[in-house]
Structure 1
Amino acid sequence: MDHIPTFLEASAVKQLTSHTYSGNLSKSYCIGAVPNGGYVAAVMLRAAATHMTTTHARITPPQKHAISFHGMFMIKTNAGAVEVKVADSKIGRGYSVLHIELLQEGMKCVNAYVTMTNIDNESGPTLNTFWEKPDPGLVGRKQLDKLLTPEGVEGWYEHPKPFADFREVSKRTRFFSAKKPTPGVVSNWGTFTNQSDSITNEAIALIADLFVGVVEQMDSDGGDDPKQQFQSAKFWYPTLSFTLDVKKSLPKDGVKWVFSKVHSQQVKNGRWDLQVVMLDEDGELLATSTQVALMVDASRNTKPRGKRDVPATKL
């Protein structure tokens, strides 16, 4: 059996020059032949954090936290080696902005802007916005770990993993939800299948892009007739754009659980959006995410990626 890397191993980057990094996208975090978009974003976030703590190590305190990521996914990636190029759009004392490109075989696959700071050093006004935070149902590591026991927690169940051989990345995590869901909304606690793995600041991007059960929740018009039901196995959901807004930093060693509430405002003509709110183990707001994606025939996932002309670049 092939070695299944931990998330830290699978998202690792190596510094090549002051502004260039290398990584290797693992097939263990793929959907079909294509790495999960949140996983790819996490690799870029690892490069951003490495960049700010090495190339810009003179800045104190170190700007090691990404508070904003906006990525445009232009060409699908494949498992294998990637190059990450970083351009310093703005380097400031408190906040810095990086322009990051992820390339594979010389082709620009993902283009992103990332805002970096040190969250633990932020200061300024704090106000009550009266925003209604989702109810996670369970709070605290002790209560959440009960979900992993044979007895489980009454009223909660583990999400099945349909088509797991195609959605290989789904095997890396486990998600648990209350048994009385809200139509069109999926609320769940997620953890890594490998309990030696932890959810780090960069892993938030991966969790935000694992929308387990969302499509199945929306497919309610087909009734019990298989001919009328949406055949989700036939579809692949490639990311067009992915935005992550991080509200707080996680401990250095990460955490075991993250809560996510996921819903879509519209699915129409094969294009849809995803809105995600994430909480930490204590039920505090951790991050929000928005995504624009497509629903296309799954056969497009495994088609060979065509070569494209590579324009000149200053990076």
Structure 2
Amino acid sequence: MTLLPNKPIFETDFKYSSFDEATATGTISTKAGEYSAMLPRDWCIGFVPHGGYLTSLLLAVGTKHMTTHPRLSRLNQPHPIHTAVTFLSRCAPGPAKLVAAALKTGRQYTFLRVTLYQDVPRLEANIAFTHMTEHQNGPTLRTVPPRPPPPLTNGLWDTTKGDPLRDTRPVTNKLHYKAAPDSHFGSDKDNSPSIREQWVRMADGSKFSIASLGYLSDMFLPLPENYAEISGAYWYPTLALSIEVKRAPEAGGWDVLFRRVESKVIENGRMDITVDIFDEQGGIVAISHHVAIIVDAARNRRKVAAKL
């Protein structure tokens, strides 16, 4: 079973990239907020760069701009606490230009817009920045706690080798997973196919940062594939995605995180997705909401080489 009529082929000497390499950016002009990036083939679903990876790239650029721009860096607001991304049209592997612009600055919160261009705008993010320990000091109130993650067990981590569509989704190989042993990649297909629960870590051994939460919040095998009604080849592009970050990591980042992925309504080819991300102590790290659609896999096709 293959997702695409023509699956992506990687040469034997292809150099696969780490998260840090894939989100690395060059600076064209800090003052103008212009940056460059190269979108790698191995961070794609089929022939299209993965939406979560692109979200991480925009977060990385926004953070770089906030912390290096002569005026913005003086605000001391390095943490992106909320991101709202709109995917205007699909990208292609290759060069991209990113432009960051301040929409509003403030003593506690600053809002940036980061836009990715390949010929035309392909996606944009509105990002709210603050300093999570120095600028947030209001009331803290107790709420009904969410269902806690299951214990993180010892033993080997899983990959997506059991996924029949793995060869068309190279970006899935960037994570390792742990889930209930009798589940389908963290889902009970018979009783709760619209939910997926997994402990995750980066396959290359790196730690999760706030920027990598963009990738993590969108990198899971699609929930519709838990349903018997989905028997053909489909693609599940994201229309819009938001992430609210509840806490910053300790120095260096998170080694392991847990996520609970759930859809409330899947109807007429459109679905909502909520992703709750927890740390090893059971604290909520981030909450993400998506709108995605279900389309024929033939729409995920190779484009002409990307241009700036």
Whether TM exceeds 0.5 here: the answer is yes
What's the TM-score, normalizing by structure 1? Answer: 0.84
In the TM superposition, 1:38-57 aligns within 5 A as 38-56=52-70
What's the TM-score, normalizing by structure 2? Answer: 0.85
Alignment deviations for residues 107-139 of structure 1 (CA, whole Å, 9 cap, x no partner): 100022100111122211110022x32321125
Please state if 1:260 is matched with 2:259. yes
Instruction: Give 1:57 shift.
Output: 5.9
**Which blocks of at least 5 consecutive residues in structure 2 are unaligned?**
1-12
Equivalent position of 1:11 in the other structure = 23
Please state if 1:193 is matched with 2:203. yes
Aligned amino acid, residue 238 of structure 2? T
Please state if 1:75 is matched with 2:96. no
Following the alignment from structure 1 to structure 2, what is the Cα–Cα distance between the partners of residues 13 and 25? 10
SS in 2 for 1:50: helix
Alignment deviations for residues 176-231 of structure 1 (CA, whole Å, 9 cap, x no partner): 21236461211111111222x221111111011012262233x1xx4xxxxxx422
In the TM superposition, 1:1-315 aligns within 5 A as 1-17=13-29, 18=31, 19-56=33-70, 59-60=73-74, 62-104=76-118, 106-121=119-134, 122-130=136-144, 132-139=145-152, 143=153, 146-148=154-156, 160-178=162-180, 179=182, 181=188, 183=192, 184-195=194-205, 197-212=206-221, 214-217=223-226, 219=227, 222=228, 229-231=229-231, 234-304=233-303
- 8 Å CA contact 2:92–2:305 kept in 1: the answer is no
SS in 2 for 1:148: coil
- Aligned-pair identity in percent equals 28
Change (3 A) 1:303 1:8: closer
SS in 1 for 2:167: coil
Equivalent position of 1:313 in the other structure = none
Change (3 A) 1:91 1:306: same
Alignment deviations for residues 142-187 of structure 1 (CA, whole Å, 9 cap, x no partner): x5xx2437xxxxxxx7663331110110111122212364612111
SS in 2 for 1:259: strand
- 8 Å CA contact 1:158–1:177 kept in 2: the answer is no
Following the alignment from structure 1 to structure 2, what is the Cα–Cα distance between the partners of residues 267 and 68? 25
Following the alignment from structure 1 to structure 2, what is the Cα–Cα distance between the partners of residues 283 and 158? 23
Change (3 A) 1:301 1:57: same
Equivalent position of 1:152 in the other structure = none
- 8 Å CA contact 1:260–1:278 kept in 2: the answer is yes
Following the alignment from structure 2 to structure 1, what is the Cα–Cα distance between the partners of residues 222 and 251? 30
Aligned amino acid, residue 270 of structure 1? G
- 8 Å CA contact 1:242–1:291 kept in 2: the answer is yes
Aligned amino acid, residue 210 of structure 1? M
SS in 2 for 1:293: strand
**Which blocks of at least 5 consecutive residues in structure 1 are unaligned?**
150-156, 223-228, 311-315
Following the alignment from structure 1 to structure 2, what is the Cα–Cα distance between the partners of residues 76 and 35? 8
Following the alignment from structure 1 to structure 2, what is the Cα–Cα distance between the partners of residues 20 and 29? 23
Instruction: Give 1:252 shift.
Output: 3.8
- 8 Å CA contact 1:67–1:246 kept in 2: the answer is yes
SS in 1 for 2:179: strand
